[in-house]
Structure 1
Amino acid sequence: MSQKFPFLSIDAAARRVSLDARDPAFYSDPNPVYAELHAHAPTFYWEQQKQWYFTGYDQVNALLRDRRFGRQILHVASREELGMPAPLPHLKHFDAAEAWSLLEIEPPEHTRLRTLVNRAFVSRQIDRLRPEITELTDRLIDGFEKDGKVELLSALADIVPVTMIARMIGIPDDMGPQLLKWSHAYVRMYMFGRTDADEHAADKAAAEFADYVRSIIAERRAEPRDDLLTHMIHTEHKGQLLTDDELISTTIVLLNAGHEATVHQIGNAVRVILESEIPAETMFADEKTTEQTVEECLRICAPVHIFQRYALDDIDFDGLSFKRGDKVALILAAANLDPKKFSDPLAFRPNRDEGPNLSFGAGIHFCIGAPLARLELNIVLPILFKRLAGMRLAGTPTVKDVYHFHGLERLDLEW
């Protein structure tokens, strides 16, 4: 066991690691552990998770772009060939909702779906939302500014991203709270140590979510509007329209991915900025310093830590041999802390200029919502720190037990 980290044991020669991801000392502050892994075993077999993990910036960046690895495997091999268990009956609604998820499929289906959706998420389209995001942020702050204190996640961070992605798709603002409930239940499927209860709750959420989206699809077919869902329903790609199943999967993944990580990132960023004691006015002096601050927050406290890939064939990589169907995992948040890429990587330096972070991934699965998330962060954070001068933490925030996501239970502030 490590003297610094009792929950961590590293055999550097064998590249094997024992690490308890459910230990609060780890998930509350994983960055020092990632630094230890960089020092002794940047590529390692994680005993508890029973697969290989990569933390090096170059390795993670390469694997994200390497078409020999994919998000799915059953398009090139059968369950029988791979010895993969049959789908679980109690997850049939969840599996159906995921069947055409942009996060989970590979070309040519991925190319077709992403092409249809991508136009709505290019930077020039997203930039049109600037006045709406600004107005919403100011209105929410109006509601609590006079109180001198706030729990920021429920009062603002939860609301801005879910409202904006719902509006883009064409879902009414008043559905926001219900979308959050479905999304929170849904994403527990991706967390370490998920329980049987988590699985049943996720399946129920998926069923209800899909039924709701199906009803909105029917409305848009009858009465088209100027929104993303109408666009997806009526736009052809090479003579093909999206099926209802494809529309449901795509809408659910856009709603979930379009806000879940951004909620965490707003909280993480506010915390890291306040703990740094660097004057906020220097970080948000102009557009350039704001962008640099946002990127450094994304680098040092990323909201999503891990993405997984299947080896689509027998492959050698980084001195390891993988068989077709083997899963590997890429720790994006650790790649952002690679000392070979970033100097003094555990230090928060808002004016850092050492290349891009990997918090949004890379390659064909680069986060389609990255321009929207970046715009929201570049608007929300400066407004918060300008309007709530003297803002400070009211106690030490608690990090959620939701590894491999990274976010706060709540963020209590006062000014």
Structure 2
Amino acid sequence: MERAAGTNGWRFAALADAGTGQVDRVCLDPRDPAFVQDVYAAYRRAHRESPAFFWDDYGHWCFAGYDAVDRLLRDRRFGRQILHVATRQELGWPERPTHLAAFDAVERHSLLELEPPAHTRLRRLITKAFVARQVERLRPAINALCHRLIDGFAADGEVELLSAYATPIPLETICTLLGVDRAAGPQLLAWSHAIVKMYVLDPPMSEQVAANEAARDFAAFLRGQIAAKRDVPADDLLSALIAAEDGGTTLSEDELISTVVLLLNAGHEATVHQIGNAMASILGSGLEPTALFDDAEATAATAEECLRHDAPLHMFTRYALEDIDLSVEGQIIALKKGDRIGLLLGAANRDPRRFEAPDAFRPGRTDQANVTFGAGIHFCIGAPLARIELQEALSVLFERLPDIRFARPPRYGDTYHFHGLESAPMRWD
């Protein structure tokens, strides 16, 4: 029995499934512009009718409920990789194409893609260099950077905020943190943009080739940076990563490269989108923006609600590491080893069973929580830095330009997986 077409092109179909009863399926191209421009309308329907559903276009089960997403992020029966417990032949997967060899080499040692014990060792080493450096001490420099950027366009009365403000903040910060010359920033950004296009559904061949070339060139650049830091260590993150040691082990050069690429790609792409999304949330709320940043506590609460209200990453996938009869959302879902699941972070952050008035922007809400940075062993290692960047970017902007507003209604970019504005033209008097 098929139901009526869903909001923004979603089509829910309740299909009889032997042994499990009713199974809800969703048919929707995630590149559908109507869906991309208002994903939350579709999420509202999913929450009402089927918070667990099989998304035909992706070919796997997806979960929209907060409790389910939070639990499955922590469930050790699932992992970000599967080939450490099964071969491609066992899973019926084809061999990886040779035109992605350089991209795969960078991904192979990415902290985000590994599972224990390799993940445990790598995260411990990175944590020694990254978290132990107390990223809070970067706040004054980030604050000064925000002021410097605004100095460059404040007198103009208008600006495209993503390129002139949201992009330089995390890019210059990560370059400074790593000890990489800021002049390399535009090239690093170009490589990052090319690489992350591999994380959407079915990227075209031209983007696959471009991503592979970017990964190759990025890795070559970093090998030179690593060699220089080995010869002349400095007070920076890359030198600290090179020197990090745990139980007699250190990071290999390939692990160092994968780590730096991940820090730049994940930290930069997500933060740029989050700043733009936050502006849309704040200015669309009807609240007085400057009142949201009265002090450090108010600023932190506002930033946290921005993270919940409109997250930059909406799907996090995991593999079943064994055959599992998964009990979730009132269903028993039979998964085979190697099956993928999709955890809808943006939907979970708007779950009406978890949040009062989930679509409302309410800084300081008593039910504040979000899965924007994930949970479990893959919780974002850069979350403390991302929070500082967001807090400073927003508070300084509204301090300097209190009447800033969108020059035209904001529109989201044409990709679902990375959820962010395509541009942010702003003006002020």
Q: Letter of the aligned partner of 1:75 in structure 2?
A: H
Corresponding residue number in structure 2 for 1:398: 411
Corresponding residue number in structure 2 for 1:111: 120
Give matches, 1:220-369, under 5 Å: 220-317=229-326, 318=328, 319-369=332-382
Shift of 1:63: 0.6
Corresponding residue number in structure 2 for 1:45: 54
1:102-155 C-alpha deviation (Å, 9 max, x unpaired): 110011111111111113443871110011001100000000001111100110
Q: Letter of the aligned partner of 1:34 in structure 2?
A: Y
Q: Measure the CA separation in 2 of the matches of 1:2 and 1:372.
A: 45
The 8 Å contact of residues 394 and 412 in structure 1, kept in 2 or not, is answered as: yes
More deviation in 64-73 or 398-407?
A: 398-407
State which of 60, 63, 68 in structure 2 corresponds to 1:54.
Answer: 63
Corresponding residue number in structure 1 for 2:95: 86
Shift of 1:3: 5.6
The 8 Å contact of residues 2 and 8 in structure 1, kept in 2 or not, is answered as: no
Corresponding residue number in structure 1 for 2:13: 11
Q: Measure the CA separation in 1 of the matches of 2:257 and 2:131.
A: 22
Q: Measure the CA separation in 1 of the matches of 2:265 and 2:75.
A: 26
TM-score by length of 1: 0.97
SS of equivalent to 1:212:
helix
Corresponding residue number in structure 2 for 1:389: 402
State which of 180, 188, 203 in structure 2 corresponds to 1:179.
Answer: 188
| Gap change, CA 1:6 and 1:163, over 3 Å in 2 | closer
Corresponding residue number in structure 1 for 2:18: none
The 8 Å contact of residues 123 and 371 in structure 1, kept in 2 or not, is answered as: no
Q: Measure the CA separation in 2 of the matches of 1:397 and 1:42.
A: 28
Corresponding residue number in structure 2 for 1:147: 156
Runs of 5+ consecutive residues of structure 2 not aligned to the other structure: 15-21
Shift of 1:235: 2.2
Shift of 1:338: 0.7
SS of equivalent to 2:112:
coil
The 8 Å contact of residues 137 and 380 in structure 1, kept in 2 or not, is answered as: yes
Corresponding residue number in structure 1 for 2:179: 170
SS of equivalent to 2:170:
helix
Corresponding residue number in structure 1 for 2:85: 76
How many residues were matched structurally?
415
Q: Measure the CA separation in 1 of the matches of 2:371 and 2:252.
A: 33
2:37 matches 1:28: yes
SS of equivalent to 2:225:
helix
Give matches, 1:126-137, under 5 Å: 126-137=135-146
The 8 Å contact of residues 8 and 35 in structure 2, kept in 1 or not, is answered as: no
Q: Measure the CA separation in 1 of the matches of 2:393 and 2:319.
A: 37
The 8 Å contact of residues 314 and 322 in structure 1, kept in 2 or not, is answered as: yes
The 8 Å contact of residues 306 and 332 in structure 1, kept in 2 or not, is answered as: yes
More deviation in 366-375 or 168-177?
A: 168-177
1:152-210 C-alpha deviation (Å, 9 max, x unpaired): 01101000001111211121111111111110110000012421111011001000100
Q: What RMSD in Å do the two structures reach over aligned CA positions? A: 1.3
SS of equivalent to 2:230:
helix
Q: Measure the CA separation in 1 of the matches of 2:76 and 2:36.
A: 31
Shift of 1:387: 0.4
Q: Letter of the aligned partner of 1:410 in structure 2?
A: S
Q: Letter of the aligned partner of 2:375 in structure 1?
A: A
Corresponding residue number in structure 2 for 1:414: 427
TM-score by length of 2: 0.94
The 8 Å contact of residues 398 and 408 in structure 1, kept in 2 or not, is answered as: yes
Shift of 1:396: 1.4
